[in-house]
A and B are shown apart, each in its own frame.
Chain A
């Protein structure tokens, strides 16, 4: 037996890495099929587990409502009764098959999303079709919804982060804009069954719909969708009908201090500015700038305000995922006594990005982190589907993804400084502290 000599392991030297620029990233494509009524089905067939997701996306967000709260109420109550089934029977049906039927109401769109094991999908699709053709919105269910939503709101209004989130949106877009509007207790009282039924008929029953499916898809899935949805009155979004884009009227005043709870021990800080949407050529470039600024754990805001000063448990900045217009938001909860210095540090970090070039190592880190995140995010059919959903709903196509990757790999320090000079000017930002 020979004596093995073990090479000395120098732990101070990092192992070699493969750089982000060398990774080839592509978004797995969807397959597009059209049902008899023209409704388009976007299918992401990936994965090795017999489970799937089906999402029905309607033009039924709050941009389409004429009375506050109707879009959200209709979306929520879709599951609460048809001519043939009570709310209990509907819930029991989906739960019996171990399925989740979630609803979500957003600004432009509202959706119904089914997650289930492939073996049960045949029992579930016809019932979803029943919900989108024959929901009856029983008065009693609406009354329960109104009461419970009001109670939930009462609790939420005691939370500074909730209050801050509502107010900053109202400053950015105006309190009448669908992005800025928020519910007050009285608004729930105003909700009438007739409003719900009318909205439902317009936006769901005969509304514009897209279907997104993902998973290890069964061979007969399109036939099943055709059988349940192909002859319904839903239709593809009409190219000639534009999404609502009401006027955005930002608030005139820039700085706000709100005392929501006199005994509060922390302030919810939001610093935000309006920002163009995803069609603007700067959007994906500013995402790289934002990564350096406050986009992830290794960002400057986090390094300075959490890891250096300990003012907060976390601080992030991000571009809001809105279709008509985005916003650049910095968000944190900080001890009441350190809110002022925390805000001062946010502006200092903006100054640095406007004045100094980002050094190569930091930029490489932000690049590699972004590429690693996309790579990790392309793991599995549901992640891929959510990337596509975002692209399609924003009226973009696959080139947007490729362009984003190209920008991450190639954008340089000078261009990032130019972008900081354009978009990170303190005077353009709203500043809000809610205690």
Chain B
């Protein structure tokens, strides 16, 4: 049970406090309700590029990093398709430094041309490092475009192409900031050695006078049900053939999400999972195989991906995966297997919540999802899932007409 207090400032900033006196540190986490899904299809990668610019100085503070490091703090940020999250961890005594820094960059950035110019280059190097200069690095660009035809999940957080980043203008930066980076679209979480009273006073002092801004109403094109098997064949200079299959799943807050999550555990969670045991160990068709899901707020994807043993044909490997899915659809899983995936989920939640930083981050995400108390009811939702529900959901999910298959061949 994670305890928290929640209040809102008159400008709409939502504030959550989680007190934990056992640590000497505090975490100050600011989440903005904007991610890659909110981008213009002609200017993809912008939410992430923007995240870099948040470190390029704000209206009253030239340099973000130096004062934070002087206060013994560490910080970082990340952008997803759904949201952008910034966090600082520092000794509790120096908490006000974090409020000063975060509130000033919420008030306004410095909008420096130099910072934009440098961060464009930095992000382009990040793009190259992770997606060009790596074998199979382009898979997700292709896979997202195959699985999503309408929804903006069809592009990656990093952006669909280098040129979009190259072309970003300072005007885009300003517009983006004043549209999304307003108190009305932000969630502040403070966790650690701190009291709610202290946070209330600091929040009013530092964030209270920031103009509310207009609350962003998200209206994204929704992905229509698939109803067709899609397939793509790619050849590239990689050493091994690889198979990727994706199946559209339920949105984050729907009951089907929990069922799909457990199904990925049955198929690909660990050495005793079905795909690992049957396809790596028994049939020796794959050297590596995984099953997971993208876990996004809007409907995401269940993914199966594996590298084929040299000499195994793609068709044979694909057929073997399909057979495992058919077995899942034919017969309810045993009580033991169900208990296993639920126990694994319980452990995963307990271990993840051990760190104050994770707890702060999770509180922000659940608040974004619409109900912060979900953090305390997740485990019950997993526990309530039945083998029968998993059977029904697996039939819907792993319908061949819901499949996106990518054959990634080694070009040799």
Contact = CB atoms under 8 A, between A and B. Distances in A.
Interface string A71-99: 00000000100000001101110011111
A312 B94 contact: no
Contacts of A364: 70
Interface residues of A, number: 75
Interface in B275-296: 277, 280-281, 284, 287-288
Contact of B354 (A47, A90, A92, A298): A47
B71 A17 contact: yes
A240 interface: no
A222 interface: no
Given A18-B91, A310-B118, A155 B240 contact: yes
Interface stretch (A144-152, A198-206, A225-233, A272-280): A144-152
A117 interface: yes
A88 B343 contact: no
Given A147-B309, A333-B129, A96 B339 contact: yes
Nearest to B284: A144
B24 A375 contact: yes
B343 A23 contact: no
B133 A95 contact: no
B60 A95 contact: no
Interface string B205-235: 1100100000000000000000000000000
Interface string B296-314: 0000000000010110000
A293 to B, nearest CB: 15
Given A144-B280, A151-B307, A265-B132, A376 B25 contact: yes
Given A151-B307, A155-B307, A306 B354 contact: no
B96 A15 contact: yes
Nearest to A369: B69
B255 interface: no
Interface in B57-73: 59-61, 65-67, 69-73
A365 B22 CA distance: 26
Interface stretch (A6-14, A167-175, A241-249, A320-328): A6-14
B340 A96 contact: yes
Interface string A338-371: 0000000000000000000000010011101101
A309 interface: yes
Contact of A379 (B25, B60, B121, B348): B25
Contacts of A116: 347
B201 interface: no
B355 A379 contact: yes
Contact of A92 (B65, B340, B345): B340
B89 A376 contact: yes
A79 B125 contact: no
B409 to A, nearest CB: 14
Given A154-B240, A159-B133, A266-B129, 17 more contacts: A9-B205, A11-B103, A14-B97, A16-B96, A18-B91, A20-B72, A87-B281, A91-B270, A100-B347, A144-B281, A151-B239, A265-B132, A308-B118, A311-B121, A361-B70, A365-B66, A372-B74
Closest 10 pairs between A and B when the two form their complex, measured CB to CB: A372-B72, A310-B121, A98-B347, A91-B271, A98-B343, A15-B96, A92-B272, A91-B272, A313-B126, A11-B60
